[in-house]
Amino acid sequence: MPIPPPSTPAAGSVTCRIGARGVSRSFGSVRANIDVSLTVRQASVHAIVGENGAGKSTLMRMLYGLDIPDTGAILVDDDEVTFSGPRDAIARGIGLVQQELAIIPELTLLENLVLGAEPRAGLVWNRKQALLSATELATTVGVEIDWNLSAAHASIALQQQVEILRLLYRGANVLILDEPTAVLAPAQAAELLRLLLSLRDAGRTVIFISHKLDEVIEIADDITILRSGRTVSSFRRGEIDRAGLTELIIGDRAPDERDDADRPAIGEAVLIVDGLSASDDRGIPRLSEVGFRLHRGEIVGVAAVAGNGQEELAEALLGVRAASAGSIRLDGTEIRRATVRERRRLGVRYVSADRKREGLGVDLSLVDNAIASSGLSQLGRAGWLSRAAVGARTRAVLERAAVRFGTAKDPASSLSGGNQQRVVIGRETIDEPRVLIASQPTRGVDVRGIGYIHELLRQARDDGAAILLFSEELDELHALADRIVVLCQGRVAGTLPGDAPRTRVGSLMLGESATTTKEEGR
């Protein structure tokens, strides 16, 4: 069923459906946006691209009324407007889905959809009418949703769909999405992109922020590039390719990919996993008889569609999730029942997919974050910290990862997402770990940051670490992995060479039959 047309100006009657003219915004001494102008055409997908810290999110917050420009003007339907807050933007049909989803896990998906705009039957909300409206809306946009499902048990992809439907439920005809595919697997991202194109075709206007330039090239009618808070240029579809975008985004060449011809030889098996099984928090089996070997000086990638056991595998190896069966041997020692602390003492390190909640203390200083995993014996004596040792450790971590920062006393929240991730990887690799479990290490990181993080992982590999890389980006797995272990429905569907064709990896991820290369000799 086609999406009903929203209430918008007649086609071609306005030049700028939403945009900005010469807006600037500063936070203290930090200039987030400097004289930025933007023109978004009606019924188009307009991509905003740029490095972390380029000012993209601040600009979107001003378009939605969350921030007020210091100078310049916000435009809606060719007119200058002043928003005192998001309520004013919503009244003009503008909606925003931020990177951090505003889903309340304790509520059902239906309750999240209508929260604050519930249909009423007297003094209570009319659940029957809400469910009818939700079902009609989902059918209209071509998605299937169990509205009675608790949001806590919904996948990220499903939560993302509900966020978009919530905007449509409230009458939004301009949708602003900040990195909407950053946490989605390739198949889920493709489904979301199809949804955005269908919304455009039905007359809605979509602003799309993304670091994934292939997605931008695929769906954007117009592209605007921001760098260091300023507008660099804008292009129509077909006027620029991926290489041209990359050059304009970073302003110079990205770090060269390292040639692996001179890398050290892969060594002995460090981690041997055999018959590993585990369940999720609800007791549902998610991992079944998984087995593989990880060698010194190699990177093994794990490919899977979201929800196929990769999270449970990472948590079981780290020690935060109990395995129900199987064996985990590190340098010949069985560690399946070892604590997280014991595993770290044996050389297991972890880069979390959620740097803000698990990888860092974002409100703590860079010093605190740099020394967070260090033992007292490394930083002092007799229970007392040595200022010199703490300073040396902090400098070593920040220099190893080439972190861009003001002072070491600044909070981690002051850094861009890419630099936050570099702090985590620098800290977790500074002591040359035996095993490094890296989960989605470049999620939400810009083009330049991805190159630096890849180089950090290669350096850790060359220093002798055995790295298990969980990534939903097939490009990343092909760039880094010596082998790729593919999971499907919690089982190993096959083990492929790192340069295996994407179609072959993808077919195994989706459970389709394919000729696989089984793990031999490792």
Q: Quickly list DSSP for 43-88.
A: T-EEEEE--TTSSHHHHHHHHTTSS--SEEEEEETTEEE--SSHHH
Q: Which CATH superfamily is domain 260-347+431-509 in?
A: P-loop containing nucleotide triphosphate hydrolases (3.40.50.300)
pLDDT digits (tens, 9 = 90+) for 276-327: 999 988 788 889 999 999 999 999 999 987 678 898 999 999 999 999 999 9
- At 225, give phi and psi (nearest 5°): -110, 130
Q: Domain spans of the chain? A: 18-250, 260-347+431-509
Give the pLDDT of residue 220.
96
Mean pLDDT of the chain: 87
Please name which of 400, 58, 78, 81 lies closest in space to residue 230, comparing C-alpha atoms.
58
pLDDT at 11: 56
Position 254 pLDDT exceeds 80: no
Q: What is the pLDDT of residue 185?
A: 67
Tell me: the pLDDT tens digits for 79-124?
A: 999 999 999 999 999 999 887 778 898 999 999 999 888 888 777 8
Residues 185/306, Cβ–Cβ less than 8 Å: yes
The hierarchical CATH code for the domain 18-250 is 3.40.50.300
pLDDT, tens digit, for every residue of 207-233? 999 888 889 999 999 999 998 899 999
Are both 18-250 and 260-347+431-509 of the same fold?
yes
Compute the C-alpha angle 139/145/151, nearest 5°: 145
pTM above 0.85, yes or no: no
